[in-house]
Amino acid sequence: MTIAQRAASRRGVAAVVASLALAAGLVGTFAAPSSADDGDSGEFQGVSDLHETVKGHLPGGGTQTPKAGLLNLQVDGSEDVDLAYCVDFIGGIKEGDVLPEAPWDESGVANRDAVERILNSYFPIGSGPEGHEITGTDSEKAAGTQAAIWHFTNGFELEGSNGHPAVLANYQAILAAVAADALPALGGPITVNISGETDVDAIPGQLIGPFVIHTTAASVELTPSEGVTLHNEDGSPFEGPASDGDEIWLKASEAGEASLYAYGAGVTAGVRLFADRYVQDMAFLVVTPSMDMDEVEVEVHTPPTSSPSSTSSTTTPPNDTTTTDSIVPQQGTPSTTPTTPPTTQPDEGGGLPDTGANTLGLVAVALVLLAAGIGFGVYSRRRGQSPT
């Protein structure tokens, strides 16, 4: 994957995270409160506009008509007002009361798991899972959610809300969802991991894998490098996005580095509690965008080219005899049969080579000349010895 491609992929992930942050903002400061340091406190600033008056009763008590819905809470260091639910029906509270922050997991709030699942699934975070949705106006959703929380923290039984039947229907839907264990737990940090063997002898056009996706995200976006395609085990194209446990095979079109990037995004949720023994306790859900990514790389090599090896060899014996091929001319065509001169063979005895009649003639001439020279020399000597 080129630098430009990696940058584009990271920009895509940043866009996903930004959209999650925007979604959190759309449900109000309840979903995106400021972070708190140890020792923070919250100042109660009254009931928000998102509430309805309901009627119901506690165990063994008479009918009461409280305002049920979201409350305004100003946390130290925050310019925004957070939206919180009451998690203690008993006790009163007035504007200006200050509540110190307390650890949620160490609190004495009854049925904490059910309460945090309600906070994590219903208004203003959402409308609940399929089959257990809440409906109506935002105030009716908030009132039904608050009444359901009181049910688990204090045993409150909702009887209804004058002129707002959706409040009771929402309350009943939430209780049914908890009873059916249909609500997800709080989301922790998003994690993404790709497992699989990368030190392999991979060649172009061959399936490489499997690579297994491990994630806490609902879905994971997969981005292969240039020239790499994603497949299932049978070679069919893998249709993304991926989920936890999915197996992916890679196929590269050419030698080089084959990469796969996996990106997961979601939200990390946690409950912040502000409690005081003398007043009503309040809690709200912190929702923070979260993301993670992982990458695997495989070196793809060009397959070695092997020349075909010969399984048999043919040896042509030397030709001791010169053979003249005869070409039979067609009728009316002059003969073009080539004439091959005779080949001189070496003498079997190992003497002088046979040169034919011309060599014998030269020897005879040489002997005659030698005899003449000798005769001429004898004659000259005799003349030199005779007197003048």
| Domains in the chain, number | 1
pLDDT digits (tens, 9 = 90+) for 174-200: 999 999 999 999 988 999 999 999 999
Q: What one-character-per-residue DSSP string does 58-70 give?
A: -TT--EE--EEEE
Domain-located, residue 83: yes
The C-alpha angle 369, 374, 378, rounded to 5 degrees, equals 145
Cα gap 66→85, rounded to integer Å: 13
Asked if pLDDT for residue 279 goes beyond 80, the answer is: yes
Domain-located, residue 360: no
Domain-located, residue 130: yes
Query: Residue 54 — very low, low, confident or very high, per pLDDT cuts 50/70/90?
Result: very high
| DSSP label at residue 90 | S
Domain-located, residue 48: yes
Domain-located, residue 85: yes
pLDDT digits (tens, 9 = 90+) for 18-36: 343 333 333 334 444 444 4
Domain-located, residue 318: no
Beta strand spans in the chain (E): 41-53, 55-57, 63-64, 67-75, 82-86, 98-102, 157-160, 192-195, 208-215, 220-224, 228-231, 247-252, 256-274, 282-300
Cα gap 116→200, rounded to integer Å: 47
Cα gap 14→73, rounded to integer Å: 31
3-state secondary structure of 317: coil
Domain that holds residue 78: 29-188+268-289
Domain-located, residue 124: yes
Query: Residue 79 — very low, low, confident or very high, per pLDDT cuts 50/70/90?
Result: confident
| Mean confidence (pLDDT) of the chain | 79
Domain-located, residue 113: yes
Residue labelled with tokens 């959190």: 24
Q: What is the pTM for the complete model shown? A: 0.61
| DSSP label at residue 383 | H
Average pLDDT over residues 36-50: 84
